[in-house]
């Protein structure tokens, strides 16, 4: 089980570091419809995407390093909910990847012996 936990942590970390870094160095593909409106609105704030992608890079690096993994998982949870909702309602083509990322997060946070005790302690009185 430790190998599965390590694999999940590394995969999740690589995906978040990769997507965060890619945002700063590539141009997103053209979007249409509601997804284009959503993206335009978030871009118009001037701060949202740099904050989001910076947070993804930071948490991805925490996951890759193995340092403060429970903190990274807690910070990434609402980001993953948003990723899932965006793909469920606006861009279904990415729903499979969003679901896989969510399942990895749930496994690490609630079922891995290494990190779940710390996460579960947040839900106790």
Domain boundaries, the chain: 2-26+49-123
For residue 49, the surrounding DSSP H or E stretch is: helix 48-65
Confidence bin at 10 (pLDDT 50/70/90)? very high
Average pLDDT score over the chain: 95
| Whole-number pLDDT of residue 29 | 85
First to last CA, the chain: 29
More confidently predicted of 124 and 104: 104
pTM of the model: 0.93
- As a whole number of angstroms, the distance between CA 82 and CA 84 comes to 5
pLDDT in tens, 110-122: 999 999 999 999 9
pLDDT-based confidence at 38, cuts 50/70/90? very high
pLDDT in tens, 85-99: 999 999 999 999 999
């Amino acid at each position: 089980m430790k190998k599965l936990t390590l694999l999940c942590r590394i995969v999740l970390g690589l995906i978040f570091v990769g997507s965060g870094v890619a945002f700063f160095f590539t141009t997103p593909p053209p979007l249409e419809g509601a997804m284009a409106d959503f993206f335009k609105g978030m871009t118009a704030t001037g701060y949202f995407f740099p904050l989001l992608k910076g947070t993804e890079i930071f948490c991805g690096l925490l996951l890759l390093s193995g340092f403060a993994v429970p903190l990274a998982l807690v910070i990434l949870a609402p980001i993953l909910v948003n990723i899932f909702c965006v793909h469920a309602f606006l861009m279904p083509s990415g729903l499979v990847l969003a679901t896989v990322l969510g399942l990895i997060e749930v496994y690490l946070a609630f079922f891995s012996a290494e990190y779940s005790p710390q996460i579960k302690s947040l839900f106790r009185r």
